[in-house]
Structure 1
Amino acid sequence: MKIWIDFINTPQVNFFEPLIEDLSQEGHSFILTCRDSSNTVSMLKSKGWDYTIIGEKVYTNLLSKLLGFPRRVLKLRSFLKDKNVDVAIGQSSFYLPITAKSLGIKSIYTNDNEHAMGNIPSFIFADKILLPENLSLEKARKQGARKSKIIQYPGIKEGIYLWKKGLKIIEKRKQNVPDTIYIRPEPNTAQYYTGNSNFLDTLILDLKKDYHIIILVRDKNQFEHYSDKRFLGVEVPKNTISFDKIAEKCLLFIGAGGSMTREMAMIGVPTISVYQGGLLDVDQYLIDNDLMVFDPELTINKVGEFLTTLNTKSSEGSNLLDKGEKAFFLLRNTLFCI
């Protein structure tokens, strides 16, 4: 079977890695396309996979996004029309379902962000829609998802690809002495993000006096911003750091939105979300189960209090890894049954 996957952001690389490895060993083949956004290309390179970049520019304003959408769909269609794809699957790639439909290819669409406007065309054109059990089906139906298309999977999205290595990382953390605060800035090019840019500057300047700080930037603009001499002493890696290395060394993870915040939370890394917008249903689930703290107005004093009052994480973390295994095989089986 020949499977097409479209990557439009960095977390999707980790999301599909177990599926690609598993099915490749069984003789199935993949066509991988990507948009040159955030750290996506460098992540794909690190995996050693063959991929094709289609759509080099990531637009930041809504009008440009709307105009750029059909252009990339047409480019994808032209690239794929003679590739004999059997099935397509995408995690929050709004381009994939409509492109697949125009080529007569069955498609699976999955997303855990109920605020993404791109869900509307994706829900309409996808043949199957996979959603986490904690995402409100009423919200999905309001965006055009038909009940007959929806399959709910157990746990949260991050469990689908962390279930294999999550327990190993947890054990390694017990053997190490985490000493670094990792900070993931805001997703300022995402359609759903409506908060401020660089709002973490004051906190970072305060924290660098007492802690080893590594900022995991999303793009060139953030890299240039945090490379300014004001942030001397703060580490700003130019190249992507592996998830495993981050998780093993992380004393505290501060995330301004996105999958990495949930990844850290579910494997027991002390995590604070500072997201400047409406929380996702899956984020609220992690907060309710004491796996993550939400504080959009975080200060250095609050960080100090948090680190001195850490409690043992909820057992729901390991439960989410168990659910992740079930969700992975549900996703895998859906590919063959669509």
Structure 2
Amino acid sequence: MEKVVILGTGPAGLTAAIYLARANMNPLVIEGAEPGGQLILTTEVENYPGYTDGILGPELMDNMRKQAERFGAQFRRGWVTGIDLRKRPFKITLQKGDELTAEAVIISTGASAKMLDIPGESENLGKGVSTCATCDGFFFRNKKIIVVGGGDSAMEEASFLTRFASEVVIVHRRSELRASKIMQERARQNAKITWALDRIPLRVVTKDDKVSGLKVRNNDTAEEEVIQADGIFIAIGHLPNSSFLNGQIETDAIGYIKVNPGTTETNIPGVLACGDVQDSKYRQAVTAAGTGCMAALDAERFLEGQEIVDWSQSLP
């Protein structure tokens, strides 16, 4: 029987682990398929407080993990194949059939950016290909950038990137955009934004181990061309990693976990959610860490208010 099990080891999960470990709650952290979350794919982080010269994403996450371990947090590698939240203690099944029980669960499984699944994309993440304008836009000052997407997120990221780039080219596979009219108008009125509509992305082009452009196919003519650029931002949406919950927790239509305003409490007492799995708006390391702190405090208060029961007597 575990007091608290934390699912996920991004900034939210590791911050929760630090707080709970310092409170002598002995949290058990389950590392998923990508320990460290999306920051593992980031080369340099310059907007996380406390690092005046920036820090590599993997190094930041390693530091947070070591800090949690220092205070007594335990880590277990694996991923969740099943979870039963219908009653306490909650049951969590890992691969190979291993089963855990917990009085409280913190879900910090994050969200994954939708990718194009084209050659050169994954191997150049953090090396000219990005999924976060606010994270990486600064590195492309006075350079030409491509934004792939046609929704509100793409318009917002393109407009933001014009603060740094000399030119932003929006590439979209259709002639019509999915973005709202007001977002489209703002983008079209921006002199730094140009358009390459009706283009299908085919391949990320590199030169001397650096991103140099995007190969696309024109839907009308079937001709292929390379749009030259120093960076490519993929802005076709995110998917929260919540499908393993099988509808046991209330989510929005996309799958982001709903929490009570001002808390990390879900509709199930004792189950908390923090980080990008419940945040479709900000999706930043520092905001995720903040909600991780909240989840730890919410879990601690929840457990303090519960009657102390020897659950092991009822286990099969």
TM-score strictly above 0.5 = no
Q: Which has the higher strand share?
A: 2
TM-score, length-scaled by structure 1: 0.28
Which structure would you say has the larger Rg?
A: 2
Larger relative contact order (Cα-Cα within 8 Å, sequence gap ≥ 6): 2
Q: Which has the higher helix share?
A: 1
